[in-house]
Amino acid sequence: MGAACSSPEDMAEEKYLEREKDQRLMDALNTHHEKHKSTVRILLLGAGECGKSTILKQMKILHKGGFTKEERDEQIGIIRSNTIDSMKQLILGCLDLQLAIEEKWEAFADDFLKIDNDRMLSLYERDMVISIWENSETIRAAVARRSDFYLLDSFRYFLDRVRVIFKPDYKPTNQDILQSRVATKGIVETKFVIADVPFVMYDVGGQRGQRKKWIHCFEGCRAIMFVASLSEYDQVLIEDPNKNRMIDSLTLFEGILSLVWFSFTPVILFLNKNDVFQEKIKVSELGRIFGDYHGGFDAKAGESPKILRVDFPSD
């Protein structure tokens, strides 16, 4: 029995094919590297409920053709839950502030606190929510003191739209979706293109306590966009009622600036929720929290760029 061996021609062919395979792999890696290098990666950071997710939604509307039917359908339950939760928060706020709800709504308010957030309201429940929201002096008094208890920023928007939101054939508008709120869990990545330049925005949620363990993974980002809510100057943290939310945001911002991984990374400070801020400053004095503000309840004084920057460091 003879042993078979490759001819010099066969060996040359194998080497050629191997070199071709290696070259294709290198070309693919180089293409991936160039594509990755040309992509502008932006890391969104900020305290909870500052509006990071809303920015991603806006990018989707402006640069990705908006929301799919499936995405809009997913939002229906979230928006209805936000609406129900807004009324519950107001009722609980009345209890915390020892404001007695009017007798004709008292029993309903007690029962309403027990319903699930993720269900459709009956016509009776819908009409009662509308009635309380539009007519209760106690609820109005609670709204005026909303900085004393937790309340969704978009509560007014949703409660004004109860009739629409709880229609059986309800379809969320872009504005409805922008106003909706659900806690971000894990990493949300949004890709879009502006003027042929690819962008990727990362929103990282639900990991605050472990931030120093993972944040170095984003060292290669082209920029950090730190989002701060202007309207939270008179609010406290849910998990720590003794800590002001804007002071907490300032602390977080300063901590991000001190991280060695981002020593040479541009940081964009995005001051969000100015519309809510402009409404709130008329009834809740900014000077109570930031002593260098002397504009009282003057909303126009609050429009000054110097005031809007408050104490966020700029270098």
Residues belonging to the active site:
49, 54, 181, 203, 207
- From 83, 97, 86, select the one nearest 141 (Cα to Cα): 97
Length of the chain in residues, anyone? 315
Residue 228 in contact with residue 271, Cβ under 8 Å? yes
Sheet bearing 40-45, strands edge to edge: 186-194, 197-205, 40-45, 223-229, 267-272
Q: What span, in angstroms and rounded, lies between the C-alpha atoms of 46 and 228?
A: 6
Q: Given the DSSP bridges, would you call strands 267-272 and 223-229 parallel, antiparallel or unpaired? A: parallel
Which residues contact residue 133 at a Cβ distance below 8 angstroms, ignoring those fewer than 6 apart?
87, 139, 159, 160, 162
Rounded to 5 degrees, what are φ and ψ at 6?
A: -75, 140
